[in-house]
Amino acid sequence: MTIFWSEEQLRHRDTHFVQLGAIRASRESAERAASIAATLRTRGKVLCAPPDVGMDPILAVHDTDYVEFLRNAWDRWRAEFGDTPFGTGGHAMPNVFPQVPHAQKPDLIVGQIGWYTGDMAAEIVSGTWTAAYWAAQGAIAAARGVLQTGRAHYALCRPPGHHALAGKAMGFCYLNNAAIAAQELRKATPRVAILDVDVHHGNGTQAIFYDRADVLTVSMHSHPRSYYPFFTGYAEERGEGAGAGYNLNLTYDFGAGDTPFLSALDRSIAAITDFAPDALVLALGVDASEHDTHGRHAVTRAAFTSMAERIRAFDLPTVIVQEGGYESPVLGHLIADVLDVFDI
Ligand SMILES: [Zn+2]
C-alpha cells in the first residue's frame, strides 16, 4: 500500500523528441512528473523514496552492454561533441539506425546512440540514467512490497518503461519498469500477468517476454496501423517458442472512447482469468483520456475508474507502475482515482 517516488527521477529534464519532422519539447517532462506527484499529495497520498537495491533486478531484464551504454552515454557524448554540438544546441539522439543487413555496433557515440535507440523519442541528457535507475528502483520496491504484504503497491515510474526493449530505449522509455517488476515477482510466484492499458502498444514488454510462458503479456491499445509505435501491437503477435499463446494484443480505433476501451478491457480480463496468474502488474498509462493532449483519444474519467474496479476484482497481489499520461487538467486525478480503488 505504498507509493514509491524519488525526486531523483526529476533529473531527466528539458528533453526533446522528433514529431512530424520537428524537434519539440518532450511531452514526458519533469514538470509532468512533478504535477502528478503534487496532485497525488493533494489527494492525501504519501510518496516514499524506494531503497537502493542495486543493479541485479535491472540486469535480470536488460542487456549488460545496453545498461552500461545508458550509464555513460551522456558523458561520452559531451566529451566528444560538447554540450552544444556545432553551436546549434544539438541533442544526444540518433541520426541513423542499424536498419541494414549485417549491421555492426560502431565505436563513436553518435553511431552507438542509433544502435541502442529505437526512435527519436529517447533523448539522453545528464540526468537520464539517474532518473531511469530510480524509476526502476520504485518498481522493484513495489514488487517486493506486494510480495511481503499481498497488497497492491504503486510506483510513480518516470521515465516510463513499456517501450524499452532489453537493449534499446525508445518512446520516452529507457528501463522497462513493468518488466523489471514482473521479473521480481517471478522470484516468488510461478505465474505473472502484465496488463498494459496505456493507449500505446507496450512493445518493449511484449518483446522481453515474447518467448516465455511464465509471464503473460496483454496490451490493449490504439491500433498500430495508424498510431505509435506502428510496427508492433497487431493481433497476430501471439508469442513464440515456449511463449506461443502467451502474448495478446487487443486494439481499438484511433480516437476511441469508453465502449471500445472497456470492451478491450473485458477481453483482457478474460485472457488473464484463463491464465490464472499468481500476481499482476498493471502498466498504468492514462493517455487514452479524453483530456490528454498527446494521446488524442476519448476515454472518460469514469471509465478509468470502472477499469480499475474490474482489475481490482481479480483480487490478485498487484504492482501498479506508471506508464504514459500527459498534460491534462485531470492527469494526476486519473491516477489517484485508480489508486483509491486499490486502497493505495
Ligand atoms: Zn502511451
Q: What is the pLDDT along the chain (344 residues), one digit of tens a residue?
A: 699 999 999 999 999 999 999 999 999 999 999 999 999 999 999 999 999 999 999 999 999 999 999 999 999 998 888 766 555 557 899 999 998 899 999 999 999 999 999 999 999 999 999 999 999 999 999 999 999 999 999 999 999 999 999 999 999 999 999 999 999 999 999 999 999 999 999 999 999 999 999 999 999 999 999 999 999 999 999 999 999 999 999 999 999 999 999 999 999 999 999 999 999 999 999 999 999 999 999 999 999 999 999 999 999 999 999 999 999 999 999 999 999 999 99
Distance (angstroms) between ligand 1 centre and the Cα of 83 equals 29
Q: Report the pLDDT value the prediction gives residue 37, as an integer from 0 to 100.
A: 98
What range does the domain containing 310 cover? 3-61+134-341
How far apart (Å, rounded) are the C-alpha atoms in residues 323 and 229?
15
Helix, strand and coil content of the chain, in percent to the nearest 5, comes to 40, 15, 45
* Count of domains observed in the chain: 1
Distance (angstroms) between ligand 1 centre and the Cα of 302 equals 19
How far apart (Å, rounded) are the C-alpha atoms in residues 320 and 101?
39
Q: Is residue 97 part of a domain?
A: no
Distance (angstroms) between ligand 1 centre and the Cα of 197 equals 9
Q: Which of 12, 62, 153, 163 is catalytic?
A: 163
Q: Is residue 114 part of a domain?
A: no
Q: Report the pLDDT value the prediction gives residue 137, as an integer from 0 to 100.
A: 98
Exposed/middle/buried for 275, CB within 10 Å: 0-12, 13-18, 19+?
middle
Q: Report the pLDDT value the prediction gives residue 90, as an integer from 0 to 100.
A: 74
Q: Report the pLDDT value the prediction gives residue 91, as an integer from 0 to 100.
A: 87
Residue 271, SS3 per DSSP: helix
Distance (angstroms) between ligand 1 centre and the Cα of 6 equals 21
User: What string of DSSP letters covers 39-93?
Assistant: HHHHTT--EEPPP---SHHHHTTS-HHHHHHHHHHHHHHHHHH-SSGGGTT--S-
Distance (angstroms) between ligand 1 centre and the Cα of 155 equals 16
Q: Is residue 109 part of a domain?
A: no
Q: Is residue 80 part of a domain?
A: no
Distance (angstroms) between ligand 1 centre and the Cα of 331 equals 13
| Residue carrying C-alpha cell 552492454 | 65
Q: Is residue 42 part of a domain?
A: yes
Distance (angstroms) between ligand 1 centre and the Cα of 107 equals 32
Report pTM. 0.97
Q: Is residue 187 part of a domain?
A: yes
Q: What is the signed CA dihedral for 175, 178, 179, 185, rounded to 10 degrees? A: 130
Distance (angstroms) between ligand 1 centre and the Cα of 284 equals 9
Distance (angstroms) between ligand 1 centre and the Cα of 287 equals 6
Q: Is residue 186 part of a domain?
A: yes
* CATH number of 282's domain: 3.40.800.20
Distance (angstroms) between ligand 1 centre and the Cα of 80 equals 33
Q: Is residue 112 part of a domain?
A: no
Eight-state DSSP code of residue 154: E
- Cell output for 328: 491534462
Q: Report the pLDDT value the prediction gives residue 8, as an integer from 0 to 100.
A: 98
Q: Report the pLDDT value the prediction gives residue 72, as an integer from 0 to 100.
A: 97
- Active-site residue flag, 162: no
Distance (angstroms) between ligand 1 centre and the Cα of 32 equals 14
